Amino acid sequence: MAFLTCWACVLVGCLSASLKRASDFSDLYPPLWKESPGQLSDYPVENGTYIINPWVFSEKMGVYKILLNKTATYFAKFAPGNEQNLLWGLPLQHGWQYTSGRLAYPSQRTDCGYESDHLCVSVDSWWADLNYFLSVIPFLAAVDSGVLGISSDQIRFLPPPKDQTRFCYDVSGCHSSFSEIMNKWIDFYQYMKLPTSNFDDLLKYLWDAHTISLKTSVKSFEDRTPFCWVALLAKCINLQVHFL
Ligand SMILES: *[C@@H]1O[C@H](CO)[C@@H](O)[C@H](O)[C@H]1NC(C)=O
Ligand SMILES: *[C@@H]1O[C@H](CO)[C@@H](O)[C@H](O)[C@H]1NC(C)=O
């Protein structure tokens, strides 16, 4: 528990540093942001369903890009240019995981995540596994909340090469495997859609959703120890010092 609490505070630190960074320098986007898909029609379609491969970094960044785009309208009352969109913290954090090599196969026994295959997101990376619960699930919850303007069965994510049962791939699958996480994210989007929503309460809803995603995934991937969480802490402290 102490471990988790520590994690949570590290992540809050990262999130707030990232948010601050995003609002201070509005042109500072996550890596490969411009090259990543910006609309659903950029993804392949099978039988009327968009197919997204979250084990490819740019395809996953595209998920965030679409989410940021589709939620922009609800944050417009707080600041122009989508600057105060609370979801910016997620792609910024994921971008940092990518540039710092944390999404690669940990022991370099495969090319996944290394130079020759640098967009590969390894299912053996603890960071990538945790991030799944902070990207794919929030996205599917947004779809289910009507934020994307498509029906719930129109999106499917591709499974990793192994450990398929540890993830979920579409709205109905995520509801049955991770109902608590889905519901918290849906609560966030439902509140976001209210004309009366305010920033502080939005932050609370986001925090609840973020925490449950982390708690569940940290527990579920206990067997895959992070190779260096101390480095994250150091990095975060650095970021904080630099940006605050
Ligand atoms: C598309 O739908 C048809 C009819 O439901 C089905 O037979 C086919 O297998 C589906 N194709 C794919 C790629 O899912
Ligand atoms: C969202 O994406 C559309 C299509 O790419 C674009 O025209 C629009 O300006 C974007 N909106 C925001 C707020 O980024």
Q: Could you state, in order of their start, the residue ranges of all structural domains in the chain?
A: 2-243
Task: State the Cα–Cα distance between residues 133 and 125, nearest whole angstrom.
Answer: 13
Task: State the Cα–Cα distance between residues 89 and 64, nearest whole angstrom.
Answer: 10
For position 24, what pLDDT does the model report?
A: 47
pLDDT tens figures, 8-48: 444 544 454 455 454 444 458 999 999 999 999 999 999 99
Query: Which segments within the chain are labelled E, that is strand?
Result: 45-46, 49-52, 155-157
Residue 115: band (very low, low, confident or very high) from pLDDT cuts 50, 70, 90:
confident
For position 147, what pLDDT does the model report?
A: 98
pLDDT tens figures, 192-218: 999 999 999 999 999 999 999 999 999
Cα(102) to ligand 1 centroid in Å equals 37
For position 26, what pLDDT does the model report?
A: 43
Residue 232: band (very low, low, confident or very high) from pLDDT cuts 50, 70, 90:
low
Q: Confirm whether pTM is higher than 0.85.
A: no
Question: Does the structure show a pLDDT above 80 at 145?
Answer: yes
Instruction: Enumerate residues lining ligand 1, CB below 6 A.
Output: 46-47
From the CA of 82, the nearest ligand is: 2
Cα(47) to ligand 1 centroid in Å equals 6
Looking at ligand 1, which atom is closest to the CA of residue 47? 1
Residue of the CA atom closest to atom 14 of ligand 2: 69
Residue of the CA atom closest to atom 4 of ligand 1: 47
Proportion of the chain above pLDDT 70, given as a percent:
81
For position 6, what pLDDT does the model report?
A: 43
Question: Does the structure show a pLDDT above 60 at 128?
Answer: yes
CA distances from 32 to 7, 123, 124, 144 (A): 27, 20, 22, 27
Does residue 91 come out as left (phi exceeding 0), alpha (psi in the -120 to 50 range) or beta? alpha
Question: Does the structure show a pLDDT above 90 at 89?
Answer: yes
> Is residue 45 helix, strand or coil?
strand
Query: Around Cβ 164, how many Cβ atoms within 10 Å?
Result: 12
For a pocket test of ligand 2, which of 33, 69, 75 has the largest count of ligand atoms closer than 8 A to its C-beta? 69
Cα(74) to ligand 2 centroid in Å equals 14
pLDDT tens figures, 64-73: 999 999 999 9
Question: Does the structure show a pLDDT above 80 at 138?
Answer: yes
**Residues with Cβ within 8 Å of residue 150, at least 6 apart in sequence:** 40, 50, 143
Residue of the CA atom closest to atom 9 of ligand 2: 69
